[in-house]
A and B are shown apart, each in its own frame.
Chain A
Amino acid sequence: ETGVTQTPRHLVMGMTNKKSLKCEQHLGHNAMYWYKQSAKKPLELMFVYSLEERVENNSVPSRFSPECPNSSHLFLHLHTLQPEDSALYLCASSQEGPRGRGGELFFGEGSRLTVL
């Protein structure tokens, strides 16, 4: 596989459920990101991991918990979500530092989440 792969592509969950979104990048990049895309809103940066350390937590509620076990994998753990959390969650990766161009994000196709 190539690029950035997200699973599942679609997820429906109740407000009391616990679920996880998974992202895997096959590009050898050293930074990974979670973005939230809601209808009629800009892409919102949620979390940034650089060299497996979280460098940004953009005021995201604690019901969203990220995990980056290695440079190729990123998870978003979901717990007691609200209906307004329904959105497309996009994972991205980039190569930062001297070898990278700086700034080019490679996005996955997203996980469409519906909270009932």
Chain B
Amino acid sequence: GENVEQHPSTLSVQEGDSAVIKCTYSDSASNYFPWYKQELGKGPQLIIDIRSNVGEKKDQRIAVTLNKTAKHFSLHITETQPEDSAVYFCAATRIQGAQKLVFGQGTRLTINP
């Protein structure tokens, strides 16, 4: 089955700087890679996703890159703000009916003012 590794487990950056979180996956059949953000006391929320037919996707300050050959994908947050502080999870799956996402271990991102 799929296995997703996520690094780092914690990340602290100065406000305004960039943050990068990296994930690797094991199953070459996986074709969908979402990123979720979980704030304290809330459930995870999708912030961006990418499918295997594209190499990069951007949404304002957030971007995701995918390297299918190396089986890794990354989340990039630019111009970080205090509200970006949260736990971020990457996930991977092969889209076929109901989703069976396999999540990484999570990265606790802290933005220092």
Contact = CB atoms under 8 A, between A and B. Distances in A.
B106 A42 contact: yes
A74 interface: no
5 contacts: A31-B98, A48-B100, A104-B49, A107-B45, A109-B41
A96 B101 CA distance: 13
Interface in B36-91: 36, 41-46, 49, 89
A10 to B, nearest CB: 11
A96 B43 contact: no
A105 B4 contact: no
B43 A92 contact: yes
Contacts of B25: none
Interface string B15-46: 00000000000000000101010000111111
Given A56-B98, A56-B100, A103-B101, 9 more contacts: A42-B104, A43-B103, A50-B98, A90-B44, A92-B43, A103-B93, A104-B49, A107-B45, A109-B42
A105 B100 contact: no
B102 interface: yes
Nearest to B45: A107
A97 B43 CA distance: 24
B99 A109 contact: no
B34 to A, nearest CB: 6
Contacts of A11: none
Contacts of B43: 4, 90, 92, 107-110
A94 B42 contact: no
Given A4-B43, A109-B43, A110-B43, A103 B105 contact: no
A115 interface: no
B62 to A, nearest CB: 15
B107 to A, nearest CB: 11
A45 B100 contact: yes
